[in-house]
């Protein structure tokens, strides 16, 4: 259990204690103001904490243990695959041959790196069923924007300027309408039917001559496979639009089916999710975009190509390209990790990943279905959505249950999304968790459900064992206190 009373390092400070020792000065001492202009010299002594080396080490070690990640606990964050990243990927990405090269080096001196990127492109084309791939986009939402700009360039090249709308399901990730807006389109919502899938009749109503594209992840954010995807693609194509695949849920279908075979025209992947790059905390990701052949001329430039002589290089001669979307060539280190993952897993391994992810999700769904409402009574794919509506009648909200999970050492699932499910709780266990972990999580969530019935105040006041208790989250977000200020009264 975290130490809730750990003092700030400033509170541990005792005058005269130091955490370093420097060698005796062996050159003539000079006054500072003889070397640095007066306007750059501070007028008051800095108020640094004065602690010993041991105090310093213990302080930061204690802080480091407050971090929570996949490496130290179960992280069932629905809608955002958070699975274990094999450490071999990190070893490979840190090889000197990758870390000590520079993007300004001559192509001839970085042939190995270029070959890796080219092979990654080829592997991702095989996984998605697309004809060409760019690795430039820096993350998933960046990939969405890039894909939509490609679609926009395609319509403009065909002088079809009336296509100003992008259709987005009411279950979509929030980044979809945001990306459509940033790309200059109007987002139009298509409703879901009673089974949680795209309502075909409503799609026929909203798809028209102004449709530039439909954005759709499959499986969708309810964890359900859009079984009518080919009908959906036909409707959008008949209206003259393109079909865009949000690859956030790719972990459910690798080696089983491909977006390119379902009728999609553009795909983005989240290498930092499905292909085990580091994830979260605002760190670098990678969101490659794949397209069918007729859209390939509009991909960002340069593309990495294999030349007739067998060497690798950049292709900048692309007059219809939307241009560069990222400095140099994307987040190279993340692409190296993804390639290492694909090579270590192989085609059969990736297929098994998806089968195990789907199996784990359905096992967990079955274990929890007696104690929680399940909005859709069918098998799920890699994730599922529960409703806390039953517990809500007892005065316990889904937010309360998510906070209570913290007391048992779990990162809570996504809550209140998708918006069409009352008191939603979205759970994605991923393929990397054992049956014992799934059972323990289910036992604790069921225990919380029983608490909601018999002792609701325990859940309503949670968490009880974390460093910080229940926050006023709105105030914390709008008025954050991000640095220590001496003698400041914090309320």
Secondary structure (DSSP) of 323-360 = ---SSBTB-HHHHHHHHHHHHHHHHHHHHHHHHHHHHH
What burial class does residue 97 get, using C-beta atoms within 10 Å of its C-beta: 0-12 exposed, 13-18 middle, 19+ buried?
A: exposed
Asked if the model's pLDDT at residue 487 lies above 70, the reply is no
Other beta carbons within 10 Å of 374: 17
The encoded tokens of residue 49 equal: 């904490």
Query: What is the per-residue pLDDT across 224-262, written as a single tens digit (0 to 9) for each?
Result: 999 999 999 999 999 999 999 999 999 999 999 999 999
Q: Would you state the pLDDT for residue 486?
A: 75
Q: Would you state the pLDDT for residue 101?
A: 96
Query: What is the per-residue pLDDT across 85-139, written as a single tens digit (0 to 9) for each?
Result: 999 999 999 999 999 999 999 999 999 999 999 999 999 999 999 999 999 999 9
Query: What is the per-residue pLDDT across 367-376, written as a single tens digit (0 to 9) for each?
Result: 999 999 999 9
Gyration radius from the chain CA atoms: 26
Asked if the model's pLDDT at residue 200 lies above 80, the reply is yes
Q: Would you state the pLDDT for residue 2?
A: 52
Q: Would you state the pLDDT for residue 491?
A: 42
Confidence of residue 342 (pLDDT cuts 50, 70, 90): very high
Between helix 332-368 and helix 111-128 the angle, nearest 10°, is 30
Asked if the model's pLDDT at residue 380 lies above 50, the reply is yes
Q: Would you state the pLDDT for residue 46?
A: 85
Percent of the chain beyond pLDDT 90?
A: 87
Q: Would you state the pLDDT for residue 75?
A: 95
Q: How far apart are CA 219 and CA 252, in angstroms?
A: 7
Other beta carbons within 10 Å of 294: 12
Average pLDDT over residues 304-323: 97
Q: How far apart are CA 387 and CA 422, in angstroms?
A: 6
Average pLDDT over residues 310-338: 96
Asked if the model's pLDDT at residue 402 lies above 90, the reply is yes
Confidence of residue 66 (pLDDT cuts 50, 70, 90): confident
Q: Which of 76, 82, 177, 176 is nearest to 384 (CA)?
A: 76
Average pLDDT, the chain: 94
Given a contact cutoff of 8 angstroms between Cβ atoms, the answer to whether 373 and 312 are in contact is: no
Percent of the chain beyond pLDDT 70?
A: 97
DSSP string, 454-484: H-HHHHHT--SSSSS-S--HHHHHHS---S-
Q: How far apart are CA 217 and CA 71, in angstroms?
A: 28
| pTM, to two decimals | 0.91
Q: How far apart are CA 340 and CA 332, in angstroms?
A: 12
Confidence of residue 471 (pLDDT cuts 50, 70, 90): confident
Q: At CA 480, angle to CA 479 and CA 483, rounded to 5?
A: 135
Q: Would you state the pLDDT for residue 220?
A: 96
Backbone angles phi, psi at 316, to 5 degrees: -100, -5
Given a contact cutoff of 8 angstroms between Cβ atoms, the answer to whether 290 and 246 are in contact is: no
């Amino acid at each position: 259990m975290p130490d809730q009373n750990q003092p700030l390092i400033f509170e541990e400070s005792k005058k005269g204690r130091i955490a370093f020792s420097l060698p005796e000065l062996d050159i003539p001492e000079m006054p500072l103001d003889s070397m640095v202009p007066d306007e750059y010299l501070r007028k008051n002594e800095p108020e640094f904490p004065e602690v010993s080396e041991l105090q310093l080490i213990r302080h930061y070690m204690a802080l480091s243990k407050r971090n929570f990640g996949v490496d130290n606990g179960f992280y069932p964050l629905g809608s955002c695959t958070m699975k274990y990243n094999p450490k071999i990927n990190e070893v490979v990405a840190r090889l000197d041959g990758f870390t000590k090269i520079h993007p300004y080096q001559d192509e001839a001196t970085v042939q190995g790196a270029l070959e890796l990127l080219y092979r990654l492109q080829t592997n991702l084309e095989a996984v998605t069923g697309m004809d060409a791939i760019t690795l430039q986009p820096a993350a998933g939402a960046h990939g969405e924007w890039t894909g939509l700009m490609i679609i926009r360039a395609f319509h403009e090249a065909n002088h079809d300027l009336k296509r100003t709308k992008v259709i987005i399901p009411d279950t979509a990730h929030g980044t979809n309408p945001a990306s459509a807006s940033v790309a200059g389109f109007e987002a139009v919502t298509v409703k879901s039917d009673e089974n949680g899938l795209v309502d075909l009749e409503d799609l026929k109503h909203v798809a028209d001559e102004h449709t530039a594209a439909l954005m759709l992840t499959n499986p969708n954010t309810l964890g359900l496979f859009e079984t009518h995807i080919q009908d959906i693609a036909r409707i959008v194509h008949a209206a003259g639009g393109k079909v865009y695949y949000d690859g956030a849920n790719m972990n459910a279908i690798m080696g089983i089916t491909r977006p390119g075979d379902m009728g999609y025209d553009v795909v983005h992947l989240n290498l930092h999710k499905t292909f085990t790059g580091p994830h979260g905390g605002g760190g670098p990701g990678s969101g490659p975009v794949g397209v069918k052949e007729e859209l390939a001329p509009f991909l960002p430039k340069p593309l990495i190509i294999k030349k007739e002589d067998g060497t690798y290089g950049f292709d900048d001669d692309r007059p219809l390209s939307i241009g560069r979307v990222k400095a140099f060539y994307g987040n190279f280190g993340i692409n190296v990790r993804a390639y290492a993952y694909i090579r270590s897993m192989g085609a059969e391994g990736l297929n098994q990943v998806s089968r195990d992810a789907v199996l784990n999700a359905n096992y967990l769904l079955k274990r929890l279905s007696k104690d929680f409402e399940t909005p859709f009574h069918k098998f799920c794919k890699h994730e599922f959505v529960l409703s806390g509506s039953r517990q809500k009648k007892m005065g316990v909200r889904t937010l309360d249950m998510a906070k209570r999970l913290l007391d048992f050492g779990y990162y809570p699932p996504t809550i209140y999304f998708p918006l069409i499910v009352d008191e939603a709780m979205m759970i994605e266990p991923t393929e990397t968790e054992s049956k014992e972990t799934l059972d323990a999580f289910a036992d604790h969530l069921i225990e919380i459900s029983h608490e909601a019935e018999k002792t609701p105040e325990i859940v309503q006041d949670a968490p009880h064992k974390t460093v910080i208790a229940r926050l006023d989250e709105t105030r914390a977000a709008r008025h954050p206190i991000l640095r220590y200020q001496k003698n400041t009264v914090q309320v």
